[in-house]
């Protein structure tokens, strides 16, 4: 019995030794696992933490931008030219992972809530895609076993090919409405808003959609805008246009705009002022953070930055003067069209500038289209060029002085210039040399002596004139003369703040005798704006000022009654100074004054009824037609021009008027509409000035009222209707 009792404790002792060993092994394994877990967590958090955080932000928290209303555009007197009309809009933003089936589902729901007219531009491919999405099983069943094994794009192509005409004919009006909505939904880029409906959206539709937003992922109700133009066609070609959401950013500027943070379907300025000042007018987009679920759907959007409306442009243009000049052009073009030989006459231009600041007061152009209707052609002032004739003779005189060919006191006898083997070249009033006139620069400008300019050009060429002898000159004289003309803005870009400016055309006939034609404005061609810059340079005493359409940039209006605070004022920019003594400039100014006031002045009799004195230079150029009527190409025509300023003693307005192809060179008479237009422009300017003085209008105040709110409201209503 004792032996049995003694052996029993030994068995218990043996069991107690086994249990701790197993526990130790278990604890060791747990320790290893926890160590590995801690190590892995350390690597994830410390080493790869930033990477995972960035990936999380990219996939789950995405920044979405929305456009803001563009800045508006005023004239110099704070009349609204271009504004924004707010419109209700129903939009959609898809994620990168949103499947087409879900988009179709949303489109079907929207069709029940809003009224959409089927798009007449739905293509056959649009309808094929819609049929496949709404008949997925039937479409796949039509594929052969081999076709099903093709890669996605090739297999889908086969699905498209298998859609029959009967399939498309079976689509109802409801189907086509849904297809229209779906097409709009797919037009935008991922996480960018596209308008499903932005015209004619009713309050009831907004309410219905807003109530069902939870079941319409990606859909939102917001406010969009459309541009309206208070004065219809006035300055329309200069103001430019804005792209639609469908057009987006221009294809030739994709990289530029994308680098600036734009989306491909953003609305941007497409042309002229809207394009030139895009960075000012566009404003800063609002920014929101959209939280996406695991499927990439937007589940929550939080606004981070509400954005800021674009700044407003205040143009240098006086819209009332602009409108008056446009009517002046039309009225006188009718007179011109009633005259003989005017079948090729279809356009006229007028530029008005402040000669000291370069601010463009009016940039008017009118063109008669194929239907006989007048249309705005303001842009032709800097995109088309013509021979300007004698209007450029002031530049010829000063070029002669700058090159030391002549002085302020040089006298030439007006006489026909005859070279051996050529026809005589003479002044219009002295074709046979019956008059023997000794002329200085003032007298030569007064009666528009061609002979004086010929002899000046010969001096510049280093040629000695011998009657009926040869004319020997270097072709480099053309470049020499152009160099001096460029100082006035003739033959070079004026620098105006508008895209697409042309420099004109250089004559390519290097016959040395053409140097004489150059001197009287019948060789190279210039734009009306270049002629205006040249005239302003004479008017202000020899400073070539860069013309500008901009007066100032202002912050957006805060109350809708007055314009915003000034953000930037446009300062005058001097491009160069004419390299002659002030006395030489005054000599030409006296010549311009003699043109309109002298006993033999070519412009006398047109400006006597004005309250101020006018100085200027007339021009008539024998040219060749190069307009749209190709069957009449190179027909002989006459261009008539005028460049001048007022008051003559202290100019505040400088103008250039160009009437190309006014009448044929077939014995037709000159109706002188260039002179009539010029006189009426000066009268319109000073009449407006007097009216405003009587009304006590002061445009120097800081808080300027928006002056044409009623007209702007009417234009906005017209657009919405």
The catalytic site residues sit at: 390
Report the alpha-carbon distance of residue 291 to residue 120 in Å, rounded. Answer: 36
Sequence-distant (6+) residues with CB within 8 A of 702 are 565, 566
DSSP 133-162: HHSHHHHHHTS-HHHHTS-HHHHHHHHHHH
Q: What angle do CA 343, 345, 346 make, to 5 degrees?
A: 115
Q: How far is CA 174 from the centre of its chain?
A: 41
Nearest to 627 by CA among 635, 615, 617, 616: 635
Provide the token pair at 36: 């590995």
Both tokens of 223, joined, read: 């406010």
Structure token pair of residue 45: 């958090």
Torsions phi, psi of 250, nearest 5? Answer: -60, 140
Per-residue DSSP letters for 536-599?
A: HHHHTTSEEEPPBSEEEEEPPPSSSSB---EEEEPPP-EEEE-SS-HHHHHHHHHHHHHHHHST
Q: How far is 114 from 197, CA to CA, in rounded Å?
A: 9
Residue 348, beta-bridge partner list: 366
Distance CA 539, CA 549 (A): 19
Edge-to-edge strand list for the sheet holding 347-353 = 374-376, 360-368, 347-353, 653-664, 636-646, 615-624
Give the chain's radius of gyration (CA, Å): 38
User: Among 507, 570, 511, 576, which residue's Cα sits nearest to residue 540?
Assistant: 576
Q: How far is CA 389 from CA 166, 576, 623, 658, in A?
A: 70, 24, 9, 10
The closest alpha carbon to 368, from 351, 341, 386, 343, belongs to 343
């Amino acid at each position: 019995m004792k032996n049995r009792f003694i052996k029993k404790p030994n068995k218990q002792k043996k069991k107690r030794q086994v249990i701790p060993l197993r526990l130790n092994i278990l604890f060791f394994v747990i320790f290893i696992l926890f160590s590995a877990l801690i190590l892995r967590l350390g690597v994830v958090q410390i080493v790869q933490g930033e990477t995972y955080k960035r990936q999380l932000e990219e996939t789950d928290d995405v920044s979405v931008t929305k456009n803001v209303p563009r800045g508006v555009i005023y004239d110099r007197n704070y009349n609204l030219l271009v504004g924004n009309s707010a419109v209700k809009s129903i939009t959609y933003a898809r994620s990168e992972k949103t499947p087409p089936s879900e988009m179709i589902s949303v489109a079907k729901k929207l069709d029940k809530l809003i009224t959409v007219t089927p798009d007449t531009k739905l293509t056959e491919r649009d309808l094929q895609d819609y049929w496949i999405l709404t008949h997925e099983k039937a479409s796949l069943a039509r594929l052969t076993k081999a076709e099903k094994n093709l890669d996605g794009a090739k297999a889908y192509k086969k699905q498209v090919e298998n859609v029959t005409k009967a399939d498309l004919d079976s689509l109802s009006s409801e189907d086509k409405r849904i297809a229209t909505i779906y097409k709009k939904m797919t037009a935008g880029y991922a996480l960018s808003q596209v308008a499903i409906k932005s015209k004619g959206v009713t309050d009831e539709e907004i309410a219905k959609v807003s109530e069902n937003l939870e079941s319409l992922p990606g859909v939102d109700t917001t406010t969009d805008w459309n541009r309206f133009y208070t004065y219809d066609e006035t300055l329309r070609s200069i103001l430019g246009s804005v792209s639609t959401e469908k057009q987006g950013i221009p294809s030739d500027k994709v990289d530029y705009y994308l680098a600036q943070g734009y989306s491909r379907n953003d609305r941007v300025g497409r042309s002229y002022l809207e394009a030139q000042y895009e960075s000012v007018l566009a404003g800063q987009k609002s920014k929101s953070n959209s939280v996406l679920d695991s499927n990439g759907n937007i589940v929550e959007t939080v606004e981070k930055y509400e954005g800021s409306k674009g700044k407003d442009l205040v143009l240098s243009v006086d819209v009332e003067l602009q409108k008056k000049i446009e009517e002046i052009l039309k009225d006188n073009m009718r007179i011109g069209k009633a005259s003989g030989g005017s079948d090729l006459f279809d356009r006229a231009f007028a530029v008005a500038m402040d000669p000291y600041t370069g601010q463009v007061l009016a940039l008017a152009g009118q063109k008669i289209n194929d239907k006989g209707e007048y249309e705005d052609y303001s842009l032709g002032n800097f995109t088309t060029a013509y021979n300007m004739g004698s209007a450029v003779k002031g530049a010829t005189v000063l070029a002669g002085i700058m090159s030391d060919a002549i002085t302020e006191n040089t006298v030439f006898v007006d006489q026909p210039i005859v070279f051996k083997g050529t026809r005589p070249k003479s002044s219009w009033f002295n074709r046979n040399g019956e008059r023997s006139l000794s002329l200085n620069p003032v007298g030569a400008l007064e009666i528009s002596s061609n002979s004086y300019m010929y002899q000046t050009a010969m001096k510049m060429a280093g040629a000695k004139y011998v009657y009926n002898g040869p004319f020997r000159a270097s072709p480099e004289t053309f470049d020499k003369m152009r160099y001096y003309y460029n100082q006035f803005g003739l033959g070079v870009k004026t620098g105006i703040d508008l895209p697409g400016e042309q420099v004109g055309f250089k004559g390519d006939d290097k016959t040395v005798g053409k140097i004489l034609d150059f001197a009287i404005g019948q060789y190279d061609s210039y734009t009306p704006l270049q002629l205006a810059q040249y005239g302003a340079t004479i008017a202000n005493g020899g400073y070539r000022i860069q013309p500008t359409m901009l007066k100032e940039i202002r912050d957006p209006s805060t109350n809708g009654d007055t314009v915003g605070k000034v953000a930037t004022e446009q300062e005058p920019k001097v491009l160069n100074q004419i390299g002659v003594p002030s006395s030489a400039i005054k000599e030409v100014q006296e010549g311009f004054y003699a043109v309109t006031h002298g006993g033999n002045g070519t412009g006398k009799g047109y400006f006597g009824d004005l309250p101020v004195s006018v100085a200027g230079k007339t021009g008539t150029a024998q040219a060749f037609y190069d307009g749209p009527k190709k069957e009449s190409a190179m027909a002989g025509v006459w261009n008539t021009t005028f460049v001048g300023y007022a008051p003559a003693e202290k100019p505040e307005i400088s103008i250039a008027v160009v009437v190309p192809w006014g009448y044929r060179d077939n014995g037709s008479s000159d109706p002188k509409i260039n002179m009539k237009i010029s006189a009426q422009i000066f009268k319109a300017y000073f009449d407006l000035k007097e009216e405003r003085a009587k009304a006590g209008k002061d445009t120097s105040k800081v808080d300027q009222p928006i002056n044409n709110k009623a007209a702007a409201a009417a234009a906005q209503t017209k657009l919405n209707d």
